[in-house]
Amino acid sequence: MTDRIANPWGERTPFGQGEDWPVRVDQFLEDGVSEEEVDRWVQTASILHSNGDALDIAVKDGRIVGVRGRGEDRVNKGRLGPKDLFGWQANNSEDRLTRPLVRKDGELVEASWDEAMDLIVERSKELLEEKGPLAFGFYTTGQLFLEEYYTMGVFGKAGLGTPHMDGNTRLCTATAAVALEETFGTDGQPGSYADVDHADTICLYGHNVAETQTVLWMRMLDRLEGPNPPKLIVVDPRPTAPAQRADVHLKVKNGTNLALMNALLHELITNGWYDEEYVNANTIGFEDLEQTVMEYPPETAAEICGVDAEEIREAARLIGNAERLLSTALQGFYQSHQATASSCQINHIHLLRGMIGKPGCGILQMNGQPTAQNTRETGANGDLPGFRNWDNEEHVQQLADLWNVDRMTIPHWAPPTHAMQIWRYAEQGSINFLWVSCTNPAVSLPDLPRIRQILQNEGLFLVVQDIFLTETARYADVVLPAATWGEKTGTFTNTDRTVHISEKAVDPPGEAKPDLEILLDYARRMDFRDKDDQPLIKWDDPESTFEAWKECSRGRPCDYTGITYDRLRGGSGIQWPCNDEHPEGTERLYREADFNTQTWNCERYGIDLITGGMNSEMEHKAMNPAGRAIILPAGYLPPHEPPGGEYPFRYINGRTVYHFHTRTKTARAPQLQNAAPDAWVEISPTDAESLSIEEGDMVRVESPRGYMEAKARISGIREGVVFAPFHYGYFDTPEGDSPNGQSPRAANELTITDWDPVSKQPLFKVGAARVTKVADNDGTPAPAPTTTASAPASGGSVSETVGGDEAEVKETVGKQEEGEKGLIDRAKDALTGREE
């Protein structure tokens, strides 16, 4: 096999436009194990990215010993990325959690399952009696199975009755969902991975596909290496692998995406590169869009974005003359300023070109995690399951009838509580019970000094359900040891709506249990009941849970009713909707421009892209979309924390191909950990020279909130921008060796507590920073930096993390919290100023 660390994408299998992507089966087995020695191969798909690569697990003597790709699957045709090939080794790690832990006298000690669950249930019942359902919060993940999310969603909404349920998917895919809802009425990717095979132009908007979805990039690479390769446009401030292959690389300043998108739309309209008949028949809002984007000719956007106006024109020319256009987007748009507004403009480009629902004409508002789509479908992100609208009484009643509960039991008096607000309520003390499952917010959330303080709140009862003792688990009152992928059965859905089954291959270690079993046990012990005094949760294993979910999805855009476990076994994954009308699944949505924007059907009634203000049902009816796509323009506003003065750099963080999230699994795979053992800081040659920084020097990157230190990498990144990977937490080893929880290499020590007004997704890619040299690459110390901000030891107060200005942090959070009034006022002021 090709060295898949040195060459993450493997050997090329070129193919031309409209041809089938050739099969290439990748495989990796543990040293000393041959194919002939494998006892059995067990079907599954990857959970270390959102691509949904299908693979088989090799089992020998009751242990996982390797993997191989499934050549028959539509998603990957047998290919696997580095994390697929090597990440499974974490399952066999000796430091897996094998027994529950409970906190006694300030220490976590082993306990029985009964003792741990009794503590959780006792505290739950006390809080229900004393404070009611609003005392409960659930913060979950994008890595569980559909069956587990649905169970959590049902007992959270119809059992406890709390609206406080969300997950780390808020950090990576919330904007994808909301952008789709705003334009097309409901969530659900219109496109298909197979659109790569047909496209003549591919646009990657803030999407480093080569490192985040390696197999999808393999597909694109094979097209680029084949006959009639597509044109490639990349929007990214960094010189990523796709950027190096691009026909046009727009190296924008982070935080200026919307100005660029408006300029591209300006060029499409002024040059007549749009399908007027399609727009008139199938959309509303074009006139408002035209009026807005006329203020953004390429020269205006060039000044804002820091790119050449002719490059903008060339990108628009390629888009405007494409016959089959594929667009993808990810964190460079979702985690940046005006995230939803920018992402909606991608949808608008396709609507103007009439390029949707046809081969090669796809939109993929990408997900960041393997099962993020399921959190949104099942309601584990707080929304109502089945893409139902929390503000539509008929939708709420459908669920009440399905679950046999009173409609008023299901929270729907206000929007579901988003993740950043959940953490704010925990900080204020109104949430007293927080259940964190399969995620590590002590490393992944923004403004980590604040998060550490919240996790230590005396009035917060913290439950952590995970497979390792993570940085977050060390703060818990109860830690529940969970089974992981390969040790349990369930289903999950990738970015292009392909549903896969993941079968149990081996037993979990020790007393660890599948997440579904843990959640069902909690529901049983809490004795949640329906209106007939029967158990609320009427399923007891993965397949019966899936059947219950199918009924919830019936008749909704994400209809699963034609899918069964048996149909998923043995062959390829199946794309929803799959039902009587579409028995083989559905490769592309909206082929007939049949959008889900009807008032009775849509997932939300619309949100102002600038202020985040929500439309009412009557306002939506007055728009009369009637199944037409909704075009929503927006003007550019500058970010809230621009660089300048003491903090002259724009700071962004992101991912590397060798790690996933906070390295809980990938750091325990030797090949992956050895490839990227520590954090780094990317800086441009010009900026490095001005600071006397050379390759490998130790540098400090500092914001008003905290700092990190890592070795410098001098790259072709845009001048004035610094980048760091966010994966690295407090511990260099599983046992932990960092004093007092201090994390001088965690990228989120610096990030700002701010979020998009529409999707509520935190902004990891805006914020100001400064860079100083700490030591030469030979270890010789540099002159001491004249800075004051520092990362606190565990237990430090908020004021310690920002040089004593506690009021500044609380003011920032408060503005977001109170209806995001501060952002709305700022937007009004900016708009007024522009008009004057």
Q: Write out pLDDT tens, residues 656-703.
A: 999 999 999 999 999 999 999 999 999 999 999 999 999 999 999 999
Which pLDDT belongs to residue 797?
Answer: 26
Which pLDDT belongs to residue 2?
Answer: 84
Tokens of 421: 């607000």
CATH 2.20.25.90 boundaries in the chain: 2-92+810-835
pLDDT in tens, 201-254: 999 999 999 999 999 999 999 999 999 999 999 999 999 999 999 999 999 999
Strand partners, 41: 58
* Separation CA 485–CA 61 (nearest Å): 18
- On whether the CB atoms of residues 316 and 264 are closer than 8 A, the answer is yes
Instruction: Report the b/e string of 299-310 with b at 16+ CB within 10 A.
Output: ebbbebbbbebe
- On whether the CB atoms of residues 562 and 583 are closer than 8 A, the answer is yes
Which pLDDT belongs to residue 814?
Answer: 45
pLDDT band at 828 (very low <50, low <70, confident <90, very high): very low
Amino acid letter, residue 202:
I
pLDDT band at 729 (very low <50, low <70, confident <90, very high): confident
Task: 564-567: list long-range contacts, CB under 8 Å, 24+ apart.
Answer: 565/491, 565/501
Choices 3.40.228.10, 3.90.1150.10, 3.90.550.10, 3.40.50.300: CATH for 174-366+594-630: 3.40.228.10
Residue range 256-269: mean pLDDT, rounded: 98
Which pLDDT belongs to residue 783?
Answer: 78
Which pLDDT belongs to residue 541?
Answer: 98
Who's near 592: CB < 8 A, 6+ residues apart?
357
Alpha helices in 577-681 (DSSP H): 617-623, 670-675
Helix (H) or strand (E) holding 229: none
- On whether the CB atoms of residues 15 and 223 are closer than 8 A, the answer is yes
Helix (H, G, I), strand (E, B) or coil at 492: strand
Helix (H) or strand (E) holding 293: helix 286-293
pLDDT at 31 over 50: yes
- On whether the CB atoms of residues 148 and 492 are closer than 8 A, the answer is no
- On whether the CB atoms of residues 741 and 793 are closer than 8 A, the answer is yes
Q: Tell me the average pLDDT of the chain.
A: 92
* Separation CA 51–CA 577 (nearest Å): 18
- Nearest Cα residue to 30 out of 91, 86, 90: 86
Strand partners, 139: 166, 436
pLDDT at 613 over 90: yes
Which pLDDT belongs to residue 817?
Answer: 43
Residue range 150-162: mean pLDDT, rounded: 98
Question: Any idea which residue has 């780390």 for tokens?
Answer: 168
Cis before 237 (ω within 30):
no
pLDDT at 280 over 50: yes
Residue range 30-53: mean pLDDT, rounded: 96
Of the listed ranges 3-17, 594-608, 659-673, 811-825, the one predicted with least confidence:
811-825
- Nearest Cα residue to 751 out of 415, 254, 143: 254
Strand 201-205 relative to strand 231-235, pairing: parallel
Which pLDDT belongs to residue 785?
Answer: 54
CATH, range 101-173+371-575: 3.40.50.740
Tokens of 116: 């741990």
- Nearest Cα residue to 160 out of 131, 130, 128: 128
Tokens of 278: 């399609």
pLDDT in tens, 797-815: 222 222 233 333 344 344 3
3-state helix, strand, coil in the chain (%, to 5): 35, 15, 50
DSSP-derived letter for residue 825 is H
Largest Cα span, the chain = 76
Which pLDDT belongs to residue 789?
Answer: 33
Q: Could you say which architecture CATH assigns to the domain 2-92+810-835?
A: Single Sheet (2.20)
pLDDT in tens, 440-467: 999 999 999 999 999 999 999 999 999 9
Residue range 37-65: mean pLDDT, rounded: 97
Helix (H) or strand (E) holding 353: helix 339-353
Helix (H) or strand (E) holding 56: strand 54-60
pLDDT at 823 over 80: no
pLDDT in tens, 508-534: 999 999 999 999 999 999 999 999 999
pLDDT band at 196 (very low <50, low <70, confident <90, very high): very high
Taking CA 272 as the corner, what is the angle to CA 270 and CA 276, rounded to the nearest 5 degrees? Answer: 120
DSSP-derived letter for residue 611 is T
Of the listed ranges 647-661, 674-688, 778-792, the one predicted with least confidence:
778-792
CATH 3.40.228.10 boundaries in the chain: 174-366+594-630
The full DSSP string for 153-203 is: HHIIIIII----EEEGGGGTTHHHHHHHHHHHSS---S--TTHHHH-SEEE
Which pLDDT belongs to residue 786?
Answer: 53
pLDDT in tens, 304-321: 999 999 999 999 999 999
CATH 3.40.50.740 boundaries in the chain: 101-173+371-575
Tokens of 824: 């709305």
Tokens of 347: 């949808």
Of the listed ranges 251-265, 318-332, 422-436, 785-799, the one predicted with least confidence:
785-799
pLDDT at 405 over 90: yes
* Separation CA 773–CA 494 (nearest Å): 42
Which pLDDT belongs to residue 421?
Answer: 97
The sign of the dihedral angle between the CA atoms of 401, 403, 404, 405 is: negative
pLDDT at 652 over 50: yes
Tokens of 336: 């940046």
Question: Any idea which residue has 């089992």 for tokens?
Answer: 59
pTM score, two decimals? 0.93
- Nearest Cα residue to 1 out of 30, 38, 36, 26: 26
Tokens of 303: 């000044």
Tokens of 148: 């587990």
CATH, range 649-802: 2.40.40.20
Which pLDDT belongs to residue 155?
Answer: 98
CATH 2.40.40.20 boundaries in the chain: 649-802
The full DSSP string for 430-483 is: S--EEEEES--HHHHSSSHHHHHHHHT-TT-EEEEEESS--TTGGG-SEEEEB-
